[in-house]
Amino acid sequence: MSAPQSRFVKACKAQPVDRTPVWFMRQAGRYMAEYRAVRKRYSLVEICKKPEVAAEVTITAAEALGVDAAIIFADLLLPLEVMGLPFHFEPGEGPVIEKPVREKKDVIQLRVDRAAELGYVAEAVSLVCKHFGTSLPVIGFCGAPFTLASYMIEGGGSRNYVHTKKMMYSSPSVWDELMRKLVAVTSQHAAEQVRAGADVIQIFDSWVGCLSVEDYRRYALPRTTELVNAVQKTGVSVIYFGTDSATLLPSMKQTGAEVIGLDWRIPLDDGWSSLGFQGAVQGNLDPVLLFADWQELKARTKDILRRAGDRPGHIFNLGHGILPETPVENVKALAKFVQEHSTRR
Ligand code: CP3
């Protein structure tokens, strides 16, 4: 860990802090001119694979916004490559996995012995930690097994997750082997980031909301719990984030994650209450509110802070990542507003 005494790390443990820490998912991205300039020279994957460039992108965004944590610049899908599934980003379409996983033989072929080849992410983490020292905590991240499996099986984004659910329902042992392999790779990848100095690991389960509670509990919860436990063994707290997850929150809490990420569809206090107010929560402003006028944005931000109340363990964030056309000035003003209006007496 590089900044164990920071207000962000303390808030993850639901300890009292001087004010609410704030950072944003996708805080480094296309909405920022500095990032677009770097993207003129390198592809997304090239940035990820050049630790000095990934570190620079991470640091530039965190400093420009004045947020309370830096998230390492990388991508959820990088582990697919070392498991034997090449992918690329199609402009306007998102990620495309060249040969999706559909059958038992595809799962058998997936490799779990090459996680060390993702070492460039840990190298970038180490450079960012060196830059910030104890002044700013660094967040490492990885995908949750369900969300990564859905990309592997669908071959990209999906609306109904037909192929994914078909494997779950009709070949549960193949599904479980896939989940097991994903946990083997992502737990090593996360542990490397912690060894490099990451203070907290966020596990993204972006598409888990397509599951019913019963299916979540049967097909996702057991292996996700293994991943959370493996990361916690390295000594850091885990933020577990999903979207469309209102009905799943109590089950997601059973993974043991210290912090649960809330999307914007549920009032923050309702979400926290469904967790029995145990542990910390992160969220949960609708990212589209950053396109609204300042009065509205301010009012909705105040409402979230009011809902969090004086309970320790709120980390301010959006309910999902910053969108590409977002006005940068609003993001900066929002960070400042949260910092000025959450002072604890
Ligand atoms: O938050 C940060 O600042 C760190 C960087 C980060 C990226 N991807 C960089 C990126 C993080 C945390 C991710 C995680 C990620 N990647 C997720 C989970 C987060 C979420 O929003 O739920 C997912 C689902 C992915 C897979 C992925 N990568 C998608 C669906 C896309 C969008 C494709 C598109 O064209 O919009 C990406 C590309 C990507 N990863 C960008 C960035 C900044 C887009 C910008 C670019 O192409 O340069």
DSSP secondary structure letters along 47-63: HHH-HHHHHHHHHHHHH
Characterize 306-325 residue by residue with b for buried, 16 or more Cβ atoms within 10 angstroms of its Cβ, and e for exposed.
Answer: ebbeeeebbbbbbbbbbeee
14: pLDDT strictly greater than 50: yes
**Residue to mutate (ligand 1; options 56, 75, 326; most atoms within 8 A of CB):** 75
pLDDT at 219 over 90: yes
| Set 35, 68, 106, 151: catalytic member | 151
**Averaged confidence pLDDT in the chain:** 97
> Distance between CA atoms of 125 and 309, rounded to whole angstroms?
33
Instruction: Determine the atom of ligand 1 nearest the C-alpha atom of 143.
Output: 18
Does 218 score more than 80 pLDDT? yes
Tens digit of each residue's pLDDT (9 = 90 or more) over 153-201: 999 999 999 999 999 999 999 999 999 999 999 999 999 999 999 999 9
pLDDT, average across residues 27-36 = 98
User: What is the per-residue pLDDT for 92?
Assistant: 85
Atom in ligand 1 nearest the alpha carbon of residue 93 = 35
What average pLDDT score do residues 80-99 get?
Answer: 95
Segment 263-290 shows an average pLDDT of 98
With a pLDDT cut of 90, the percent of the chain lying above it is: 98
126-147 pLDDT, tens digit per residue, is 999 999 999 999 999 999 999 9
pLDDT attached to residue 345 = 44
Mutate to test the pocket of ligand 1, among 89, 241, 286 (most ligand atoms within 8 A of CB): 89
How much is the pTM? 0.97
| 252 pLDDT above the threshold of 60 | yes
Overall average pLDDT of the 42-67 stretch: 98
Query: In the prediction, which pLDDT does 343 show?
Result: 73
Instruction: Name 89's bridge partners.
Output: 95
Ligand 1 lined by 25 (C-beta under 6 Å): yes
Q: How far is CA 81 from CA 149, 282, 343, in A?
A: 13, 30, 44
Query: With a 6 A CB cut-off, is 73 part of the ligand 1 pocket?
Result: yes
Predicted local distance difference test score (pLDDT) of residue 344: 66
pLDDT category of residue 96 using cuts at 50, 70 and 90: very high
